[in-house]
Structure 1
Amino acid sequence: MCKRELAESAEEPKYFASVQSATSEVENENKEQQEAEHGTREMGILYPFIISGGKNTERFYFKHINDLTDYKFNIKPEYFADESNYTEVFPKRIREILSRNTDAKIYCVFDWDTIYTDETCLKRHDAFVKEFIDEINNGTVVICHSMPSIEYWFLLHFEENCTELLKDYSAVSTRLAPHIKPCFSDPTPKLKKLLKMEKYLKDSTWVKNLIDDGKLEKATKYAESNINAAKAIDDLENQSFSYVYKIFKGE
């Protein structure tokens, strides 16, 4: 697994501009450093930060959301690499962001399917939550996991509001494929390739089609209402869910 080390930047100011998909992370950081040295930064809105345990799927989804909608995020790092071991990587990201941005809001996006059945992973997750419990309680850090994965969040964009327990990627992809494959310019490859490989994901067409006609708002409504209904009867563990909706409600 590739683990990117955080770039060190002395006295770097707050991130007040959303990350632009057309600009590399290195170029953004160089620009920020130049602005800091010359005192030319124009302060404005501090956009929320997104860190993710995914690689390409989440990376391009949020980058395209930045470009296509009024939702704006700082995506750190711009290239997620493979940060599936989020319990090790996320604390570094969070500390780095908060050291420069005391007013930051940070959304932590990751999949739950490989965590909930593994006792060691659950202990690491609990330790991660414990370390940032104050930030979680005051809303600075927001846990946005999906069961089984981000693909379930995508499924909620369509008419099929599935609440049954889909335990893994295979289960959710079977339900998702007929809906999301037509969103791509070339829907012929298998879904796993479409949702994992950069050459398919970098074209924003799939996200544009995914969120058109109020489908993003629909997914947000479904995800929130499904979770609230399940929690009311203490039955969330017996169904799929996604807390990604919190990003779009600003919670």
Structure 2
Amino acid sequence: MGGRKNKKLDLRNGIFIVGEGITEQYYFAHLKQLRKYNCSVKPRFFGKTSIDEISRTVSKLLMGGVSVICIFDADVAARDKVENEKLNKFKKKYQKNNLVTICDSLPSIEFWFLLHFVKTNGLFVNSKSLEKELKKHIPNYNKTESYLKNKTWVEQFINQLDFACVNAKEIDQTQGCSYSNIFKAIDLLEK
């Protein structure tokens, strides 16, 4: 009999990375290749534009008993009360689940990239101002797929990964400044 086969999710690999967009997807795909990380970075786990969608994907993956790293920007939640409530609910739901690692960045993942070059805890009010600062260190950086799919942009700063982790860990997130929790993903992947 003809027809499409249902694709089964291969849960042999114990760490799955779920995220918002193509920047996160390509960054972690390149890290996986360059650092030989043992994780799954698949396009179908990205492009989740809301906390609700990410939460549904996480729930499905957890049924397979795998670890899940959630990568997303917190800028919308910072300026929208409803999204902020959803984010807090999501964090609370998984805060004691050691199979889920939540790695949000405010305003965006570009702050994580910036931490590879400078130690800062300033508040970037939006991604545009942050990207302007990042371009001082990665002049050609842009968020187009044609740029992101080439691993050379990650190769430019991968040697400063430890510096970024130290910088991110030292930020006091209670002070209303920009932050990134992506160091938690790196810590897990480096084990």
SS of the aligned residue for 2:136 comes to helix
Q: Could you list the runs of 5+ residues in structure 2 that have no partner in the other structure?
A: none
2-structure distance, mates of 1:138, 1:62:
22
Q: Retained in 2: the 8 A contact 1:61–1:207?
A: yes
2-structure distance, mates of 1:77, 1:206:
19
1-structure distance, mates of 2:6, 2:55:
16
Match of 1:32 in 2: none
1:73 aligns with 2:20: no
Match of 1:143 in 2: 102
Following superposition, the deviation at residue 58 of structure 1 comes to 0.8
What is the TM-score with the length of structure 1 in the denominator?
Answer: 0.67
Q: Percent identity?
A: 29
2-structure distance, mates of 1:14, 1:50:
12
Aligned equivalent of 1:247, options 170, 185, 188: 185
Match of 1:154 in 2: 113
Aligned residue pairs, count: 185
Question: Could you give the per-residue CA deviations for residues 71-98 of structure 1, whole angstroms, max 9, x where no partner exists?
Answer: 23212445623x221x221122112211
Higher RCO (CA 8 Å, separation ≥ 6 residues): 2
- AA paired with 2:49? S
Q: Could you list the runs of 5+ residues in structure 1 that have no partner in the other structure?
A: 1-6, 17-45, 182-186
Q: Retained in 2: the 8 A contact 1:65–1:72?
A: no
Match of 1:216 in 2: 161
- AA paired with 1:110? F
- After superposition, the Cα gap between the structure-2 partners of 1:15 and 1:162, relative to the gap in structure 1 and judged at 3 Å, is same
Match of 1:25 in 2: none
Moved over 6 A (4+): none
Q: Retained in 1: the 8 A contact 2:105–2:178?
A: yes
- After superposition, the Cα gap between the structure-2 partners of 1:139 and 1:197, relative to the gap in structure 1 and judged at 3 Å, is same
Q: How does 1:59-208 map to 2 (within 5 A)?
A: 59-78=25-44, 80-81=46-47, 83-85=48-50, 87-100=51-64, 102=65, 104-130=66-92, 132-133=93-94, 136-158=95-117, 160-181=118-139, 187=140, 191=141, 194=142, 196-208=143-155
Question: Could you give the per-residue CA deviations for residues 156-198 of structure 1, whole angstroms, max 9, x where no partner exists?
Answer: 011x2111111210221121111012xxxxx3xxx4xx2x211
2-structure distance, mates of 1:204, 1:144:
22
1-structure distance, mates of 2:145, 2:45:
11
Following superposition, the deviation at residue 70 of structure 1 comes to 2.9
2-structure distance, mates of 1:128, 1:8:
29
2-structure distance, mates of 1:92, 1:225:
31
Q: Which has the larger radius of gyration?
A: 1
- After superposition, the Cα gap between the structure-2 partners of 1:238 and 1:127, relative to the gap in structure 1 and judged at 3 Å, is closer
- AA paired with 1:14? L
What is the TM-score with the length of structure 2 in the denominator?
Answer: 0.87
Please report the RMSD computed on the Cα atoms of aligned residues, expressed in angstroms.
2.2
SS of the aligned residue for 2:122 comes to coil
SS of the aligned residue for 2:135 comes to helix
Following superposition, the deviation at residue 129 of structure 1 comes to 3.2
